[in-house]
């Protein structure tokens, strides 16, 4: 039997996966459960993992997968990247995709997870397992910098991005700043301003006018190479 906090965390992780295909950061989980520190989140996740409700995926950022809910002892893996626009149809498509099905998506150069740098438009492509992508058009960018490390996004990672110009507060987006520089950050709106938040205490939020920032996509996954 789960404690109330364990149940709340499990439900929060599943809802976030269903909504965006990306599990929440430790900071988001701490805030959602009104905990005082991330160590409390670590303890809850460890307990859920030991009881077989979730598992950690070692080769993916923010790598949590919900295996089952307390009311259902049958394992029900969540698709890595569900599309919010089609929550009912996306899981079926993912469950029937062949394990070796690969999609070539554009690889558009580097994007900053630090101060903004230019996102290069190139002709390269990246082969990605279809199971990691939901509905819609996707592209990839190489991450440069360490400002998103607390969200599990490291320098050199390949960010999988769903092309869109719409995003909600709290989502990780590719933000084009002043029409020329792009960065990967949490999106927040405050009055007539847009705040781009890092996931690293060493960095300050970046604040711009609403007309200075254009959303070019939102993060759906991360690929990482180990050498």
pLDDT in tens, 136-160: 888 888 898 899 999 999 988 999 9
Question: 135 with 90: CB under 8 angstroms?
Answer: yes
Q: Determine if the pTM surpasses 0.75.
A: no
Instruction: In whole angstroms, give the CA distance from residue 117 to residue 146.
Output: 13
- Mean pLDDT confidence for 75-87: 37
Domains of the chain: 4-82 (1.10.10.10), 102-223 (2.10.109.10)
Has residue 106 got a pLDDT over 80?
Answer: yes
**Mean predicted confidence (pLDDT) in 45-71:** 74
- CA–CA separation, 20 and 184 (whole Å): 16
Rounded to 5°, the CA angle 17-21-23 comes to 55
| Residue 3: both structure tokens together | 């404690």
Helix 4-20 and helix 38-50: axis angle, to 10°?
90
> CB–CB of 47/53 below 8 Å?
no
Catalytic positions are 147, 185
Helix residue ranges, H only, the chain: 4-20, 26-32, 38-50, 90-96
Kindly report, residue by residue over 16-34, the tens digit of the pLDDT. Answer: 888 877 778 878 888 888 8
Three-state DSSP at 150 gives helix
| Placement of tokens 């933000």 in the chain | 175
CB 46 within 8 A of CB 40: no
């Amino acid at each position: 039997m789960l404690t109330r906090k364990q149940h709340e965390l499990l439900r929060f992780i599943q809802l976030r996966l269903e909504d965006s295909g990306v599990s929440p950061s430790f900071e988001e989980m701490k805030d959602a459960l009104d905990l005082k520190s991330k160590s409390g989140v670590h303890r809850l996740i460890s307990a859920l993992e030991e009881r077989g409700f979730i598992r950690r995926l070692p080769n993916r950022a923010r790598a949590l997968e919900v295996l089952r809910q307390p009311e259902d002892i049958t394992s029900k893996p969540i698709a890595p990247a569900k599309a919010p626009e089609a929550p009912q149809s996306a899981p079926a498509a993912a469950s029937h995709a062949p394990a070796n099905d690969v999609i070539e998506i554009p690889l558009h150069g580097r994007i900053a997870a630090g101060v903004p740098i230019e996102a290069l438009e190139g002709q390269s492509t990246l082969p990605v397992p279809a199971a990691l992508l939901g509905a819609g058009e996707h592209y990839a960018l190489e991450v440069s910098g360490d400002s998103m490390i607390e969200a599990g996004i490291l320098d050199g990672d390949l960010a999988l991005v769903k092309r869109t110009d719409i995003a909600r507060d709290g989502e990780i987006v590719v933000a084009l700043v002043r029409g020329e520089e792009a960065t990967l950050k949490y999106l927040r709106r405050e009055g007539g301003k847009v705040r781009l938040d890092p996931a690293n205490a060493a960095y300050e939020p970046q604040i711009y006018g609403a007309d200075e920032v254009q959303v070019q996509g939102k993060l759906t996954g991360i690929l990482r190479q180990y050498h």
